[in-house]
Amino acid sequence: MTVARAAHRATVEPAAAPIEIDVADVSIVFDSSKGQVVAADRVSFQILRGEFVCLLGPSGCGKSTVLNTIAGFETPYAGTVRVAGKPVTGPGPDRGMVFQQPHLFPWKSVRSNISHGPRALGKPAKEARAIADDLIAMIGLSRFADAYPHTLSGGMQQRVAIARALANRPGVLLMDEPFGALDAQTRIVMQESLLGLWAKVGTTIVFVTHDIDEAIFLADRVLLMSAGPGRILRDLRIDLPRPRGSEIVLDPAYVALKKECLDLIRAESRQAFEQQAVR
Amino acid sequence: MTREQLQRLNTAISILSIPMFFLVWELVSRSHVVNIILFPPPSVVAVAMLEWVKSGQFAIDLTVSVTRVVIGFALGAIAGVLFGVLTGQFQLVSSLLSPIFHILRPIPPIAFVPIVILWFGLSETGKIFLVFWGVFFTVWLTTHIGVQKIDPGLIRAARMLGTPRRQMLTEIVLFGALPYIVVGLRTAVSISFYTLVAAELAGTFAGIVYRIEIAQQNLQTGQVMGGLVALGAVSFLADRGFAAVTQRLVWWR
């Protein structure tokens, strides 16, 4: 195991990989009926090219907001977000995104959904189709290339959504609780196949979740966030060997990491609970 | 009675419903309770319709009326969808045009007949304009609402993929609004027929409603009712045909 871990570390050597995502002192403020709400408070982190990072935190901690800011759907109140050195000014094809719901275009077949991105960028129809067919094979849905989304199961739809997000060959893949709406069995299969896909395409992935097991299973690093206002509580390195299988939950290193996360979350929730009691 | 028997009884009754209606009508007309000249029985109506068809006049009347509806409907639908997408998608266009459309929309299209006669005389343009007017606002409004009700997640997904503006309108917005648009179009089909009635009553030289009016002036009540039957049948077929097209248009439902 030590050997495997060493080998893995060598592939993502912090000094060697350039910084892909740079979130610097980002604060995000929303106007609500009760006045202004601070969704994120001076959040800073850097993600290296090719890294798989999970943003882990309770619902309402602003982790999705941070992800949307990287995507360019939200504008920060203060601070800057840079992707591949360029400041983010809006959504763009260099950052693919998978949402909690698949949001597939219901009037397009699986193939047309996936080839939409390349075609939007002006690729010839034939080339766009070839890109789509490659990805369809990769997600194992070749039999369903001409099917419409409503005929597919939730897990299949989300696989198509991942393929669609990858079709423009983005440097960054942003995933907003993509498996949150799936049942437990499907979710495990999806996690494993996502890791398989990532091993092939090698994009940088930022994955938002509130599920501790999911975060540790998938990530190179887990950024633990706290609620009200959203802050980065801890930056945890997940030094578990890859490829990872479901038996990893028995690994003492895994158990130790999970305990660390749980302890931090417990301390944080207690504090939040007491603060609410005082108010 | 079992559930199956009950169902069979209902089917039988529904099959008998229309023949029974004609039978009662025939009996009432011939019973001398009502004036047979003003209230002709279906047998007389059928004879009148047969003569109408045989004379060749029916084909002309049908063609003229259907042409007015088709052209007026097509123009109104195209304009309605176009403006609906524009006002639904671009706030600035909506701020400019929606208030105007909203004050014009509640005026019944039929009320425009007198002014349309002054503008276009008894020409075809006037008839088509009235149908267009009736269709346009319904289609515009449903398209506008349809565009605004598109799942924002789809728009986000399209933006994330780098969809250029024109492609956003033609491939995402238009299709996203299509379920609403087809409902508007189907409503507009029946609207176009009742605007046709007003248009033809206002004065013309051929058409199904024109034939009804002429027959009324000659006290040919059989022909009047025959005209109503024909109008009902055409309108029914148009609605059913459109429903079938609609199902194909929104194939992903």
pLDDT tens-place string over residues B184-220:
999 999 999 989 999 998 888 899 999 999 999 999 9
Instruction: Report pLDDT for A10.
Output: 43
Mean pLDDT of chain B: 93
pLDDT band at A3 (very low <50, low <70, confident <90, very high): very low
* pLDDT exceeds cutoff 50 at A1: no
Q: Are A56 and A222 in contact (CB under 8 A)?
A: yes
In this predicted model, what pLDDT tens digit does every residue of B24-33 receive, in sequence order?
Answer: 999 999 998 8
Which among A271, A171, A210 is positioned nearest to A60, based on CA atoms?
A: A210
CB neighbourhood size of B66 (10 A): 15
Q: Rounded to whole angstroms, how far apart are CA atoms A144 and B46?
A: 55
* pLDDT exceeds cutoff 70 at B93: yes
Kindly identify which residue of chain A lies nearest to residue B175, measuring between CA atoms. A107
CA pseudo-torsion sign B151, B152, B156, B159: positive
Any B CB within 8 A of A95 CB: yes
Instruction: Report pLDDT for A80.
Output: 94
Closest Cβ–Cβ partner in B156, B161, B175 for A168: B161
Which among A20, A196, A203, A16 is positioned nearest to A98, based on CA atoms?
A: A203
pLDDT band at A278 (very low <50, low <70, confident <90, very high): low
Q: What percent of chain A has pLDDT over 90?
A: 76
* pLDDT exceeds cutoff 50 at B92: yes
**Beta strands across the sheet bearing A78-83:** A35-48, A19-32, A78-83, A86-87
In this predicted model, what pLDDT tens digit does every residue of B233-253 receive, in sequence order?
Answer: 999 999 999 999 888 888 887
Instruction: Report pLDDT for A15.
Output: 57
Which among A55, A33, A84 is positioned nearest to A230, based on CA atoms?
A: A55
> Which residues touch B216 (CB under 8 Å, ≥6 apart)?
B224
Kindly identify which residue of chain B lies nearest to residue A112, measuring between CA atoms. B171
Rg (CA), chain A: 19
Kindly identify which residue of chain B lies nearest to residue A170, measuring between CA atoms. B161
Instruction: Report pLDDT for A279.
Output: 55
Q: What is the ipTM of this complex?
A: 0.88
Write the CA distances from B43 to A138, B28, B131, integer angstroms: 70, 12, 34
Residue type, B216: Q
pLDDT band at B159 (very low <50, low <70, confident <90, very high): very high
Which pair of tokens denotes residue A61?
A: 């901690």
Which pair of tokens denotes residue A98?
A: 């998978």
Which among A247, A230, A248 is positioned nearest to A238, based on CA atoms?
A: A248
Mean pLDDT of chain A: 90
Any B CB within 8 A of A236 CB: no
* pLDDT exceeds cutoff 60 at A66: yes
pLDDT band at A7 (very low <50, low <70, confident <90, very high): very low
Q: Are A161 and B161 in contact (CB under 8 A)?
A: no
User: Phi then psi for B246, rounded to 5 degrees?
Assistant: -55, -45
pLDDT band at B133 (very low <50, low <70, confident <90, very high): very high
Shortest CA gap B150–chain A (Å): 11
> Contacts of residue A90 in chain B, CB cutoff 8 Å?
159
